[in-house]
Structure 1
Amino acid sequence: MTPDQIVHTFVDHYHRRGHRDAPESSLVPPPGDPVLFTTSGMHPLTPYLLGRPHPGGRRLVNVQRCLRTTDLDEVGDRTHLTVFDMLGSWSLGDYDIATSLRWGFELLTDGFGIDPGRLHATVFGGNDQVGPDETALGTWTGLGVPVETNGTENWWSNGPTGPCGPDSEIFVWTGDGPPVGTPGTDERWMEVWNHVQMRHHRHPDGRLTPLPTSSIDTGMGLERLEMVLRGGRSVFEGAGLSPWVGPVRDRWNLRGPDLRVVTDHLRSAVVVLGDGVRPGNTGRGYVLRRLVRRALTVLWRDDSSRSLTELPDEPFRDSGQRFRQDPDIPRLRAVLADEERRFRGLLLRGRPLVDRVRARGPLTERDYHWLHDTHGLPRDLVDGLLAGVEPGSRR
């Protein structure tokens, strides 16, 4: 299936079960929201999970572009992305977790044709505040899906406070041969879908109180699902990433983790720019700046003459279409070129300072703080210089 076919199959499955479309939100949350970016499909729906009536009703479905800064350091493996599409469904005080899991099983096996023998589930096994999720355990057992119980790994929170509850994660076997082990013992089990029961509100003192209504929030990464359905081993083989992988690989001869980091970070930067964020030294602007500079750090490690201006327009155009944006490509390219110029200048100024400090021995935390507070050199930039990134100038 192509990504478009996957989305259509997913949305149609829930339309036939009475769900209505929830509007997609920008990556930038509305004013007053404490988070930097929209991290999941449920984030814009938080007020409705807390009990406010939704104008679309109690059953909703959508596709939401998301960004997770918590995954930045994981990017470079075969499955993690900074920006991705999330397929989501919601029951706002309507059906229960058993119904959600049964419908999810039907979609994966009948709708997407995944062999039930390649599925494994995990459920919440209980803690000192909440008992085990017997309903989810019983539902999976009745469907013939093996189950592993966990603690905090199967408890979902929207932050240190706010709505939370037990979740059930669905994994698909991506290895060769028959499945072995469990998601907790074999990394070839890959998580594709999470079904969360929003039943509790966590207070600043750690107390849990029941929410006015118990709701269901599910989220499934489109790129990971495409990988599973293609029988692939990496999300970077899919249609959503290949328009970037090809040009990056062919122009700069990158392979492995380096190729994946540059591909992910440049695609993510373009999508963030497309939602109106501009590079800066704090907040969202700094996340964007970090994405661009991490990509350049990898590119310049072997050849400081490499430049983002060498990229064709097609990857920019594809990302805009894929994430339902209408980007001004010349403007995006101009912003990236300016960031590249600024980064080269900062490297030129920072190299002598880092060399001088390093001559005294390995850098300490105090050295990092001095370089940042006195000279404006963030840790990741200093680490790049220590790794041998040469600022140079374009030949």
Structure 2
Amino acid sequence: MQTEQIVRTFVEYFEERGHRRVTGSTLLPPPGDPVLFTTSGMHPLTPYLEGRPHPLGRRLVDVQRCLRTTDLEEVGDPTHLTVFEMLGTWSLGGYEGRQSLAWGYELFTEGLGIDPTMLHATAYAGDDRVGPDTSSVDLWEGLGVPVELTVEDNWWSNGPTGPCGPDSEMFLWTGDTPPESTPTRDDRWVEVWNHVMMRHRRLDDGSLVPLPQRNVDTGLGLERLAALLQGRSSVHESDVFAPWRRSVPALWPSLDERSLRLVCDHLRSAVVVLGDGVRPAHTGRGYVLRRLVRRVLTVLWRDDPSRSLGDLPDELVRHTLDRFRQGTDPDLVSRTLLEEERRFRRLLERGRQVLARPRFRGPLDEEDLHYLHDTHGLPRDLVTHLRQE
């Protein structure tokens, strides 16, 4: 099942059950939001989860593009991406978690054809403030799906304060043997769909108070699900990355698998960030973009310093912009990437000259690192990289 078919199946299933589709927003949160990028499907809907009436009603479904910098060091493994799409559903006081889980099971087993014996669930075991999620446990046991109880792994929050609540997660078995063990004990169980019963608000003092309405917020990573349904061992081998996997190895040979994944992911993510109007900068969103591009160049130049982003095929840029429904000029994106490459080359040359000075030949302390950053524009990670050359 190709990615676009998965999206249609998901959205139409919930539209048939009274959900209205929300137009997914860009990666950029609303003005005044302290978060640099949208990190989850629920992020743009926070005011409505806290009680504001939504103009489309109490049942919503959408496809939201997201960016997470917390996982940058994990990119290259089978499941993590920087920019990805999140399928999501919401009940803004319209129905309870048990109904959401029942629909999730039906969509998986009937709509997407997943063998129910390959499913495992987890649910909240309870603590001294909130009791166990017996409703979810009863639902899973009634469906014949094994369920594991945890505390920390099944409590969802979006930060130290704000909406939160117990969740129940759905896992798929990816091993070559019949399913065994449980999700917390065997990483061949891969989490694919989280159903959060968002009923509480955590205050500054850590206490919990009820939200004005009992919500359900679900999130399902599209690329991860696509890889599993397509029988692929990683998200980087799903149809979403097929054009990249065809072009990049021929363009830049000798990349090992993890490096190939990083290059494809970071360049694809940079194109999407540029497509949403961000430009390279020293701080904020622009610095995240700059960091993505420089991580790519660092990998590419490790084997061959002559490699250039100017060789990136136009069709990869166009494919990515079209995939994320962005109207940005592909030529502008390509020119911006190339200009950032030139800027990074100049910075590397200056950095090598500065670090060759006698003062910086020995171990560097915090004062040295601050000086290199403030006076010469050399960030800590770049200094570390140059010292390892």
Contact 1:171 1:193 (C-alpha < 8 Å) held by counterparts: yes
Per-residue CA deviations over 1:12-46 (Å, capped at 9, x if unaligned) read 11011111111211111111111111111111111
**Which AA in structure 2 matches 1:61?**
V
Contact 1:136 1:168 (C-alpha < 8 Å) held by counterparts: yes
Does the residue aligned with 2:41 lie in a helix, a strand or coil? coil
C-alpha distance in structure 2 between counterparts of 1:353 and 1:149, whole Å: 56
Q: How much has 1:324 moved relative to structure 2?
A: 1.2
TM-score by length of 2: 0.96
Does the residue aligned with 2:187 lie in a helix, a strand or coil? coil
1:258 corresponds to: 259
Q: How many matched pairs?
A: 387
Does the residue aligned with 1:352 lie in a helix, a strand or coil? helix
User: Percent of aligned pairs with the same residue?
Assistant: 64
Contact 1:122 1:148 (C-alpha < 8 Å) held by counterparts: yes
Contact 1:49 1:92 (C-alpha < 8 Å) held by counterparts: yes
Once structures 1 and 2 are overlaid, which stretch shifts more, 124-133 or 65-74? 124-133
**Which AA in structure 1 matches 2:281?**
G
**Which AA in structure 2 matches 1:137?**
V
Q: How much has 1:211 moved relative to structure 2?
A: 0.2
Within a 5 Å distance, the mapping from 1:127-206 to structure 2 comes to: 127-206=127-206
The answer to whether 1:249 aligns with 2:249 is yes
The answer to whether 1:82 aligns with 2:87 is no
2:311 corresponds to: 310
> Alpha carbons of 1:369 and 1:123: their partners in 2 closer, same or farther (altered >3 Å)?
farther
C-alpha distance in structure 2 between counterparts of 1:383 and 1:221, whole Å: 34
The answer to whether 1:378 aligns with 2:369 is no
Contact 1:317 1:327 (C-alpha < 8 Å) held by counterparts: no
C-alpha distance in structure 2 between counterparts of 1:175 and 1:4, whole Å: 26
2:352 corresponds to: 351
C-alpha distance in structure 2 between counterparts of 1:365 and 1:124, whole Å: 44
C-alpha distance in structure 2 between counterparts of 1:204 and 1:314, whole Å: 49
Per-residue CA deviations over 1:343-385 (Å, capped at 9, x if unaligned) read 0111111123345566324x44454334323322112212322
**Which AA in structure 1 matches 2:13?**
H
Per-residue CA deviations over 1:259-313 (Å, capped at 9, x if unaligned) read 0111100000000000001111111111111111111111111111100000111
> Alpha carbons of 1:101 and 1:263: their partners in 2 closer, same or farther (altered >3 Å)?
same
**Which AA in structure 2 matches 1:12?**
E
**Which AA in structure 2 matches 1:313?**
D
Within a 5 Å distance, the mapping from 1:1-395 to structure 2 comes to: 1-253=1-253, 254-355=255-356, 359-361=361-363, 363-388=364-389
Aligned-residue CA RMSD (Å): 1.4
C-alpha distance in structure 2 between counterparts of 1:383 and 1:117, whole Å: 49
Contact 1:122 1:168 (C-alpha < 8 Å) held by counterparts: yes
C-alpha distance in structure 2 between counterparts of 1:211 and 1:93, whole Å: 10
Q: How much has 1:64 moved relative to structure 2?
A: 0.8
Does the residue aligned with 2:33 lie in a helix, a strand or coil? coil
C-alpha distance in structure 2 between counterparts of 1:351 and 1:184, whole Å: 46
Per-residue CA deviations over 1:106-151 (Å, capped at 9, x if unaligned) read 0011111111111111112223322221211221111111112222
> Alpha carbons of 1:358 and 1:252: their partners in 2 closer, same or farther (altered >3 Å)?
farther
**Which AA in structure 1 matches 2:200?**
H
Does the residue aligned with 2:38 lie in a helix, a strand or coil? coil
Does the residue aligned with 1:175 lie in a helix, a strand or coil? coil
TM-score by length of 1: 0.95
**Which AA in structure 2 matches 1:194?**
N
Unaligned runs of 5+ in 2: none
Q: How much has 1:243 moved relative to structure 2?
A: 1.6
Per-residue CA deviations over 1:176-207 (Å, capped at 9, x if unaligned) read 12112211111111111110111111111211
Contact 1:164 1:201 (C-alpha < 8 Å) held by counterparts: yes
> Alpha carbons of 1:329 and 1:144: their partners in 2 closer, same or farther (altered >3 Å)?
same
**Which AA in structure 2 matches 1:87?**
L
Contact 1:265 1:292 (C-alpha < 8 Å) held by counterparts: yes
**Which AA in structure 2 matches 1:301?**
R
C-alpha distance in structure 2 between counterparts of 1:246 and 1:354, whole Å: 39
Does the residue aligned with 1:233 lie in a helix, a strand or coil? coil
Does the residue aligned with 1:182 lie in a helix, a strand or coil? coil
**Which AA in structure 2 matches 1:359?**
R
Does the residue aligned with 2:34 lie in a helix, a strand or coil? coil
C-alpha distance in structure 1 between counterparts of 2:236 and 2:367, whole Å: 39
Per-residue CA deviations over 1:67-110 (Å, capped at 9, x if unaligned) read 11111111111110000111111111011010000100000111
Q: How much has 1:250 moved relative to structure 2?
A: 1.3
C-alpha distance in structure 2 between counterparts of 1:295 and 1:252, whole Å: 12
